Structure 1
Amino acid sequence: MIDTPSSRLAQRLAVGIPALLIGGALISQYGFGLYPCEMCMWQRYPHYAAIGLGLMSYVLGPPRLWVALAALAILVSGIIGGFHAGVEYGWWQGVTDCATAARAEGVSAIDAISAAPMIRCDRAPWDLLGVSLAGWNFLISVSGAISILYLLAKRKPR
């Protein structure tokens, strides 16, 4: 059982931050057609892990360990997002090629691949205030992970 208000907030954030970021990514993909590139997908995997780790803190002990592990997973996603944002802004070279969002529903695989849009890792398909989605993931994930770890480190008032 988590015993302080700050630890309970950390526990909620450990589930809430990655859930909201994944939700936003899925809405942008399926609702607005912003298909993810390979590096976008890399950022999602640690968030999925963080959701699982955060939920485990509610049922397995010690909960502070699970919350800390979730925070580290969120931090990993943020670091990947920062690297991806740097690739998008041309600060450094990426480590992957472009990807496609091919679906072979009712057509041959070759036709599906030929008709699929090319998703480039070095171009931001959308930005807000000059910050790409990968950049926002970096900002939110890193600050969120640091906040969670800070809240966990706070001591119980005497």
Structure 2
Amino acid sequence: MTCKTYTILAAGGSAALLIGAYLFQFAGYPPCQMCYWQRWPHFAAVAIGAIALYFGAKALTWLGALAAATTSGIGIYHTGVERGWWEGPTSCTGGGDLLSGDLLSTDGPRLVMCDQVSWEFLTLSMASWNAIFSAVLMVLWIKAALSAR
């Protein structure tokens, strides 16, 4: 395959994961703080892909690989927080100090906890699936970069 094909697949994969995340959100699975962190590198990867394709800047494919690696790493970190392997941010985990007062009222915004799994498939959470799919996208970005030579 060509650099262009790999770039389309990789950037398109990030776009598909973002669409999936928003569909889950629309279906009633609001994201936690760490879920949002996982989205930003996907947005970057889509933009990098568009710029690389439009301007023919094949060197940008390494940045796409970095973006995919970043979101995969955040997904691994989030999975560890969900499974209790390590501590997560105090602002969105069970030990957080923000769980008092008005935050528990039903009138205000809902605080989504980062250490709680809201959906899983084959015993893997959305964060775990993001880590896996993003690692695959990273490989596609690397293949794009290597095929650009």
Q: TM-score w.r.t. structure 2 length?
A: 0.84
Task: With a CA cutoff of 8 Å and minimum separation of 6, indicate the structure with the bigger relative contact order.
Answer: 2
Which amino acid in structure 1 is aligned with residue 22 of structure 2?
L
- Contact 1:14–1:67 under 8 Å retained in 2: no
Match of 1:20 among 16, 27, 37: 16
Q: Which residue of 2 aligns with 1:141?
A: 134
Unpaired stretches in structure 1, ≥5 consecutive residues = 100-109
Q: Work out whether 1:97 is the aligned partner of 2:107.
A: no
Superposed, 1:24-43 pairs within 5 Å as: 24-30=20-26, 32-43=27-38
User: How much does 1:144 deviate?
Assistant: 1.6
- Contact 1:6–1:152 under 8 Å retained in 2: no
Distance of 2:11 and 2:59 partners within structure 1: 14
Unpaired stretches in structure 2, ≥5 consecutive residues = 94-100
Match of 1:44 among 39, 47, 66: 39
Q: How large is the RMSD of aligned CA atoms in angstroms?
A: 2.2
Moved more, 19-28 or 88-97: 88-97
Q: Which residue of 1 aligns with 2:98?
A: none
Match of 2:68 among 69, 74, 79: 74
Which amino acid in structure 1 is aligned with residue 13 of structure 2?
I
- Structure with larger Rg: 1
Q: Identity, % of aligned pairs?
A: 35
Hey, which bits of structure 1, 4+ residues long, moved more than 6 A? 110-113
Count of residues in Structure 1 that have an aligned counterpart in Structure 2: 140
